[in-house]
Amino acid sequence: MTNTNSKKIPDKMAGNDELILASEQSTMLTQDSATTAKNAWKVLIVDDEEEIHVVTRLALHDFSFGGRHLEFVSAYSGEQARQMIQDNPDTAIILLDVVMETDSAGLDVARFIRQEIGNHFVRIILRTGQPGLAPERRVLKVYDINDYRAKTELTQDRLFSVIYTALSSYRDLIALARSRHQLIGLVNEIEQLSHLAARDLQMPLNEVVGAMRKIGARVNELPPTGLAEEFLDIRENVYAMQSALNKLVALTSVGRFNENREMVDCNSVVSDVLLNLDSEFQASHANLHCETLPTVFACRRQLTQLFQNLIGNAIRYSEGKPPEIYINATTHERNWVFSISDAGIGIAPEHHSGLFNLFHRDSGEGVVKESGVGLAICEKIVRWHGGKIWLESELGKGSTFYFTIPLAE
């Protein structure tokens, strides 16, 4: 068993509340670099006047919300703003000027964000030096603007208050969207459990009851061989029910949605998994190649089970040669995206659908005949953390399982 990775896995502005202009630019630039932390709230400033960018950064250089500072991104035209919001989809707030290259450039940006790319999370705060060109009532209603301010009224304290309120709203919207995603998954899980009761429990139970009635009605007529056959049928169905119940217990024992969460070092989690799967690694001569992984806000026990199930599958379904397993993580939008890849037997695309459903079975080539509850557990853990799980795979070309965990907020 080998581990290769880049790092070894562990064995208000002034007191008079008035705007300060470009004379403070050098101070602002020095402090601005400290605000670009990886876990900062992104604020996109869209204005064709450089001094507005300077003043805004200076006014908010020491702002923090929920233990996170601000990271500023600048655009000087509507066209630049469109590109910036697409490059930074996790932007929390846009401070948007109305009049730039055209009298309605800012409004066109707002329309683009809400209607064309469908981003309804980012909070848009319109700042204008010419309020008459964009009447407030019409703008708020038509363009889904979250706040409307004249530049002259945005002193440091008021700007602080506007940003604080907008970030509160943004945070709550993200949390609500994740909760909705989790609720949809819970409904799906309940539907699968209902199907389980009908298929994996009721059907074998009916068979057992039928066999028992048959034996009771003909107990004096059946020869010993006939009784033995009926007994074997009963035993097979009882075992089937026991197996279904064991898997159901495994799924329900994954944990509770509100189970304690903390900042968890995924490198340490993988180290624990290596110890748990040591015999499998030794027997298969598997090699694990793991890049340095992030620290995420999660339930450590559930995260360990998630990695263990996916790594275990990669070992188990190799193709007669030592498994090569690769683990990586990158950021995308508001999430960490983890990938676990192997060069095993692979899964034909037509069999991907439903693979994470409870007790998914498929007898097709390249699919385990009884995939059990393992991937359903993975889906449940990821969903409870506000993420998604999927795979890319082709028969004979290995598989890559992806899952997302939201960035800590």
DSSP assignment string, 77-97:
SHHHHHHHHHH-TT--EEEEE
| Pairing assessment for the beta strands 41-46 and 93-97 based on DSSP bridges | parallel
Q: Do domains 39-154 and 258-406 have the same CATH topology?
A: no
CB 4 within 8 A of CB 290: yes
CB 309 within 8 A of CB 355: no
Nearest Cα neighbor of 273 from 340, 335, 336 is 340
Q: How confident is the model at residue 293 (pLDDT cuts 50, 70, 90)?
A: very high
Q: 394 or 3, which is more confident?
A: 394
Q: Mean pLDDT across the stretch 86-93? A: 89
Domain ranges of the chain: 39-154, 180-252, 258-406
For 338-365, the DSSP string reads EEEEE-SS---GGG-TTTTSTT-B--ST
pLDDT at 42 over 90: yes
Q: Give the CA-trace dihedral at 214, 216, 220, 226, to 10 degrees.
A: 40
pLDDT of residue 122: 92
Report CA-CA distances (Å) from 32 to 13, 54, 59: 14, 10, 11
pLDDT of residue 66: 87
pLDDT tens for each residue of 352-374: 666 776 655 544 444 444 445 77
pLDDT of residue 29: 41
Pick among 1.10.10, 3.30.70, 1.10.287, 3.40.1350: CATH of 180-252: 1.10.287
Q: 200 or 125, which is more confident?
A: 125
Task: Determine the topology of domain 39-154 in CATH.
Answer: Rossmann fold (3.40.50)
CB 63 within 8 A of CB 90: no
pLDDT of residue 336: 93
pTM: 0.58
- The Cα–Cα gap between 41 and 45 comes to 13
pLDDT of residue 81: 94
Q: What is the CATH number of domain 258-406?
A: 3.30.565.10
Task: Report helix, strand or coil for 236.
Answer: helix
